[in-house]
Amino acid sequence: MPRGIPNKKITEEKPQIPQPTPPLPPPEGTIQISKAEWDKMQEQIKMLTAVADKGRMFNYESQQASLNKKPMKVNLSVYNDKYIIGWKTNKDQLVYHPTTGATVGEQQEYEITLISKDGVISTALINSYKLFSDARYDKRVECEVIGKTENYNGEIEFEVLLPDGQKVKLSSRFIN
């Protein structure tokens, strides 16, 4: 032992080497393949599509489309927390200037048919086109069509499932 150094063991400190973290597993539902395998599969798909019978491919795609068909959705207007299921024009008259005879305005009155969330059907009168337009387009809800028929006049009617679970039959004129 060298002089002047107390009796202590001399130890060398080795630097800590960080251990590599293991790779994360792929997300569930995914597979991992090499790029070469992917390219080979893409070439096979391309070749099979090129030599396939176009009529059979069309039939297959049509069948798949009908199996994966999404339900038809329509928009229904909401007025005073009730759904508008119909309307009619009661009055639509032009207003003329008394001396010149020029058109200065219109008098309009609309009757709208409403259904409440508890199934009660009522009507409301609206006295201008602007208010009627606001009632029809300001607030709308999306509803699912569960049936479609054609009446004896050739008009299309939809059976619609309202957001509150009610089913109602409507003329195509009163939706969207």
Would you kindly state where each structural domain of the chain is located, as residue ranges? 73-174
Bridge partners (DSSP) of residue 78 are 83
What average pLDDT does the segment 146-171 reach? 88
Q: What pLDDT, on a 0 to 100 scale, did the predictor assign at position 104? A: 84
* 52-97 confidence digits (pLDDT tens): 887 888 888 878 777 777 788 888 999 999 999 999 989 888 888 8
CA distance 73 to 17: 61
Of the chain, the percentage scoring pLDDT greater than 90 comes to 24
**Beta carbons of 98 and 105 less than 8 angstroms apart:** no
Nearest to 139 by CA among 86, 73, 76, 72: 76
Can you give the pTM of this predicted structure?
0.58
CA distance 38 to 44: 10
Nearest to 126 by CA among 112, 141, 107: 112
Residue 165 is encoded by which pair of tokens?
């679970």
CA distance 165 to 56: 41
Nearest to 91 by CA among 64, 127, 61, 55: 127
Which pLDDT band, with edges at 50, 70 and 90, does 49 fall under? Answer: confident
Q: Which residue has the higher pLDDT, 23 or 100?
A: 100
Give the mean pLDDT of the chain: 84
